Amino acid sequence: MPDVVSLIHAKRDNTRPLTAAEISWLFAAYGSGEVADEQMAALLMAIYFIGLDAEELRAWTAEMIASGETLDLRKLNRPTVDKHSTGGVGDKVSLILAPLVASCGAAVPQLSGRGLGHTGGTLDKLESIPGWRASLSNEELIKVLSETGAVIAAAGAGLAPADRRLYALRDVTGTVESIPLIASSIMSKKIAEGTGALVLDVKTGSGAFMKDQERAITLARTMVALGVERGVRTRALVTRMDTPLGRAVGNALEVEEAVAALAGEGPEDLMEVTYALATHMLELVGIHADPSEAIASGRALATFNDMIRAQGGDPGAPLPTAKHTREALPAPAAGYITRLDALPVGVAAWRLGAGRARKEDDVSHTAGIRCLAKPGDYVEKNQPVLELHADDPVRFAPAVQALTGALTIDAEPPPEAPLVIDQVGA
């Protein structure tokens, strides 16, 4: 019979890998209370420093999946494909992508999360739509998916419940950044949701969780391997997140921009990422369709409206707006914007109320930032680059403080660089 202290020693001292049987025992013992939080925290810290090899990670992820239920989507009359993003500033791609790919003939079961820190959460954004519900039973989720082809909802409590406990522990013990633990956390939920194919958007750059490009590529490879091993056709795109994506950052502001994008009026950078992901999603499930035609024809927007209505929302209702706005970040000189750093913009939006510091915090649906100019645009001296939105004007000063050093102006425009850096997976 294993004991947890021996497992901690083995991993801490890197004397041998943990066996699948030991990992299975560990999860059962942790679930029953035989292994205490402080002991699991010690093991997580050892994993943070030593890592998990491929066999350990495979067993660890399998136990995360086995800790709860799995959805059975095989009765749907469409092929299933999902997308997951590691998060960024202004990343409202999921709001566009799920109905877009569904309007091309796939079923998109998008189980999403809430924002924490400077990156926004898909559910927080959609909850700015009057009446829209994030929490659906498994039966409701499959019903919406059958009727509209797309659903964006909170992962049910029964899907990979071990992940919630472990993530909470990682969050308070400084072990969130471990690549194998990130990979198992994401992929256990995606595999449990029952999708047949998955495209991952692994973001890298100043506004991303994975700021280092090589680590982002390693994470992408790790997640793709886990998906493929479990029979999920999986591919990853590594994309830039140095500049806010699109021109809106914040919940209702991003919904407004997503709806505009579905109507054919999306910013070029946002649509570049959206079309790249949509193309790969459709390719993985063998659907030959042009995503841009689905938007031009109005089908994608109609599917979005159907999805919102099916989840209790009113797609025609006005979105909430902030009580106060203020222009900010004046250009220090005339010239071309060559850098608008995503991280300070994300922190500023968070300070305006668009994000949360702790999972239990409330967010403001109206707070956020509009980018009046982006890299490549020419600005005059003192021209404001951002517009801040908040319900409480006292929030403006700390938001402006966060923007110090966020902007670079040069005499020449920046070189064009594609947002998709790399592709992982067949």
Q: Are 331 and 379 in contact (CB under 8 A)?
A: yes
Distance CA(265)–CA(278), nearest Å, equals 17
**Contact between residue 242 and residue 207 where contact means Cβ atoms under 8 Å apart:** yes
**How far is 58 from 24, CA to CA, in rounded Å?**
11
Tell me which DSSP letter residue 357 carries: S
Task: Name the DSSP class of 415.
Answer: P
DSSP for 78-145, written as a single string: S-BEEEEE---TT--HHHHHHHHHHTTT-BEEEEE---BTTB--HHHHHTTSTT------HHHHHHHH
Please spell the DSSP secondary structure of 235-304, one letter per residue.
EEEEEE-SS-SSSEEEHHHHHHHHHHHHTT---HHHHHHHHHHHHHHHHHTT----HHHHHHTTHHHHHH
Is 162:27 a contact under the CB 8 Å cutoff? yes
Active site residues: 84, 163, 170, 185, 189
Closest CA to 110 of 100, 98, 93, 127: 98
**Best CA proximity match to 252, nearest among 197, 323, 196:** 323
Judge contact between 128 and 291, C-beta under 8 A.
no
